[in-house]
């Protein structure tokens, strides 16, 4: 047996797939050929390591955030095509995303966001007369309708939990952006920083107003909206 | 931990899958918690890329949710999910035009027979970090067969079926992958 033939058979040998005959010939070659014995030993330690580590798993970088991403998609009922992973996404499509952000002018000021959020709250509140009345009069929690008040505080609780989930997602995407940032060109960096600054301003404004009035649902909705924008900015830039 | 969460801990995968098929997100989350590491690890080993692996794991669980009603409990849930994961990664490779069959080592040079003392460096003791790094440098076709056979423990017959190639091809790809890994591990040591 020559070395070429021998090394061809080493893998089958390690997997126990050699005939008795072949095994014998192989063994006699391995006894006298150090090079081939070396190959056998090396492959054996690679295969042995893998076998003994079977069932050892790595956790994703952020299990919780990955779960939230999955749940968001499932709950949104998005089609599988929308979930194209970065390398699959067409370059053209990517360029469109990109120009979209470059050309985007962030004129949303705090009062405008308040108005937008107010509209959302108004729609939500219309379902309960109490909510509507409370909205119009700007009354605080002093309500004679106990059930209505309970509904409202549940709604506020939902907003708060949504905001905390968004914050986790933002942290996750932030990490991915940081990871890719090094290979951006200056124009990309400028666009990203400019957009982020405007959004962060809106986030801070709503946080300020929430710290003064913790039960202000308008500010909560506004914060929610600003965080949503931040999330979509990060997501899109994370792919670039 | 809520009462429901404690309760679901004792439930079988099959029972959770049935609940999830009815739209029970709590049950589905339990399945995610039980299996996400396994799914992610397989994606990571086949792609050697953290963000690709995360995206793929995400897609696997979304597909799982959509298909979970078709799980009848005939095979183990883990086997079923494993198969779903492998399919997802292979589909991802195909979309990217990754060739699964490496005809030669790097598309150019055929596999080299080790002769004489051309590489005086002994191969270092295999450890996780070094091996993962070397696996990352393998061409995708080699990496896939190596992951499925040596890491995951599949037989060549199963691999051939999954990849749509012959058993002989699966065997020779595996051998070439191991030889290439050996070279890479030695090289790593030489470069230290
Ligand atoms: Zn020899």
The verdict on B89 and B105 lying in the same domain is no
Taking residues B26-34, report their average pLDDT. Answer: 96
- Closest of A167, A176, A175, A186 to residue A224, by C-alpha: A167
Per cent of chain B over pLDDT 90 is 62
Which of B44, B58, B125 has the CB atom closest to A70's CB atom?
B58
Instruction: Grade residue B133 by pLDDT with cuts at 50, 70 and 90.
Output: very high
Query: CB of B149 within 8 A of CB of B99?
Result: no
Of the listed ranges A157-161, A208-212, B125-129, the least confidently predicted one is A157-161
Residue A216 resides in a domain: yes
Which runs of consecutive H residues, i.e. helices, occur in A138-185?
146-181
Between residues A209 and B136, the one the model is more confident about: B136
The verdict on A33 and A120 lying in the same domain is no
**Chain A environment of B65 (Cβ under 8 Å):** 70, 74
**Chain A environment of B24 (Cβ under 8 Å):** none
> B182: domain range?
101-192
Query: CB of B173 within 8 A of CB of B181?
Result: no
The verdict on A120 and A224 lying in the same domain is yes
How many other C-beta atoms can be found within 10 angstroms of the C-beta atom of residue A12? 17
The verdict on B92 and B7 lying in the same domain is yes
Which residues of B, range 156-185, sit inside 8 Å of A by Cβ? 171, 174-175, 178-179, 181-182, 185
The verdict on A114 and A20 lying in the same domain is no
The verdict on A112 and A228 lying in the same domain is yes
Question: Residue B124: what pLDDT?
Answer: 75
Between residues B70 and B9, the one the model is more confident about: B70
Between residues B188 and A47, the one the model is more confident about: A47
- Output the domain CATH number for residue B64: 1.10.1740.10
Taking residues A185-189, report their average pLDDT. Answer: 78
Nearest C-alpha of chain B: how many angstroms from A225? 25
Yes or no, beta carbons of A42 and B29 under 8 Å apart: no
What are A139-178's pLDDT values in tens digits?
444 444 455 455 556 666 666 777 778 888 888 888 888 8
The verdict on A113 and A211 lying in the same domain is yes
The verdict on B105 and B92 lying in the same domain is no
Confidence check: pLDDT of A97 > 90: no
Percent composition of chain B: helix, strand, coil (DSSP 3-state, to 5):
70, 0, 30
**How many folded domains does chain A comprise?**
2
The verdict on B172 and B111 lying in the same domain is yes
- What is the C-alpha separation between B145 and B163, in angstroms, rounded? 9
**Chain B environment of A183 (Cβ under 8 Å):** none
- Output the domain CATH number for residue B111: 1.10.10.10
The verdict on B181 and B136 lying in the same domain is yes
Domain boundary among B80, B96, B112: B96
Question: Residue A112: what pLDDT?
Answer: 54
The pTM score is 0.60
The verdict on A162 and A142 lying in the same domain is yes
Residue A98 resides in a domain: no
Nearest C-alpha of chain A: how many angstroms from B55? 6
Instruction: Grade residue B120 by pLDDT with cuts at 50, 70 and 90.
Output: low
Size of interface A-B (CB pairs under 8 A): 128
The verdict on B106 and B189 lying in the same domain is yes
The verdict on B106 and B122 lying in the same domain is yes
Instruction: Grade residue B111 by pLDDT with cuts at 50, 70 and 90.
Output: low
Which of A17, A66, A75 has the CB atom closest to B58's CB atom?
A66
Question: Residue A164: what pLDDT?
Answer: 79
Between residues B75 and A111, the one the model is more confident about: B75
**How many folded domains does chain B comprise?**
2
Per cent of chain B over pLDDT 70 is 83
The verdict on B120 and B48 lying in the same domain is no
The verdict on B190 and B128 lying in the same domain is yes
The verdict on A67 and A184 lying in the same domain is yes
The verdict on B116 and B188 lying in the same domain is yes
The verdict on B131 and B191 lying in the same domain is yes
- What is the C-alpha separation between A18 and A30, in angstroms, rounded? 15
The verdict on A234 and A129 lying in the same domain is yes
> A16: domain range?
3-52
In the reported structure, the alpha carbon of residue B103 is separated from the centroid of ligand 1 by a whole-number distance in angstroms of 24
For residue B38, give the chain A residue with the closest CA.
A57
The verdict on B112 and B189 lying in the same domain is yes
Nearest C-alpha of chain A: how many angstroms from B116? 7
Which of B44, B96, B152 has the CB atom closest to A88's CB atom?
B96
Using the 8-state DSSP alphabet, how is residue B111 labeled? P
């Amino acid at each position: 047996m020559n070395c070429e033939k021998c090394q061809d058979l080493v893998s089958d040998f390690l997997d126990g797939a050699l005939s008795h005959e072949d095994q014998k010939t192989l063994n006699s070659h391995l006894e006298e050929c150090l090079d081939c014995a070396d190959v056998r030993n090396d492959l054996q330690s690679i295969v042995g390591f893998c076998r003994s580590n079977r069932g050892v798993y790595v956790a994703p970088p952020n299990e919780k955030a990955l779960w939230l991403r999955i749940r968001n998609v499932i709950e949104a009922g998005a089609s599988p095509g929308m979930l194209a992973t970065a390398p699959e996404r067409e370059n053209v499509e990517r360029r469109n995303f990109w120009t979209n952000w470059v050309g985007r002018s962030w004129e949303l000021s705090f009062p405008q966001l308040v108005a937008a959020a107010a509209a959302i709250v108004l729609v939500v509140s219309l379902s309960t007369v109490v909510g509507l009345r409370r909205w119009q009069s700007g009354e605080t929690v002093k309500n004679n309708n106990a059930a209505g008040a309970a509904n409202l505080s549940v709604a506020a609780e939902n907003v708060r939990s949504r905001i905390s989930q968004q914050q986790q997602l933002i942290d996750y995407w932030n990490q991915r952006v940081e990871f890719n940032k090094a290979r951006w060109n200056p124009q990309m960096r400028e666009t990203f920083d400019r957009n982020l600054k405007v959004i962060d301003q809106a986030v801070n404004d709503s946080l300020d107003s929430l710290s003064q009035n913790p039960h202000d649902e308008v500010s909560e909705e506004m914060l929610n909206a600003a965080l949503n924008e931040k999330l979509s900015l990060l997501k899109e830039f994370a792919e670039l | 931990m809520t009462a429901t969460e404690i309760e679901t801990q004792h439930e079988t995968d099959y029972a959770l899958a049935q609940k999830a098929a009815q739209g029970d997100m709590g049950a589905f989350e339990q399945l995610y918690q039980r299996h996400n590491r396994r799914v992610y690890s397989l994606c990571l080993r086949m792609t050697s890329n953290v963000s690709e692996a995360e995206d793929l794991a995400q897609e696997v669980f979304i597909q799982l949710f959509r298909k979970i009603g078709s799980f009848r409990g005939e095979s183990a849930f883990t086997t079923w999910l494993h198969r779903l994961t492998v399919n997802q990664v292979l589909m991802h490779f195909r979309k990217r035009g990754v060739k699964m069959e490496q005809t030669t080592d790097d598309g150019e040079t055929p596999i080299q027979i080790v002769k004489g003392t051309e590489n005086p460096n002994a191969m270092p003791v295999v450890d996780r970090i070094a091996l993962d790094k070397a696996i990352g440098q393998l061409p995708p076709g080699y990496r896939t067969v190596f992951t499925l056979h040596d890491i995951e423990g599949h037989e060549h017959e199963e691999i051939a079926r999954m990849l749509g190639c012959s058993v002989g091809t699966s065997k020779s790809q595996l051998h070439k992958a191991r030889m290439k890994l050996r070279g890479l591990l030695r090289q790593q040591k030489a470069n230290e």
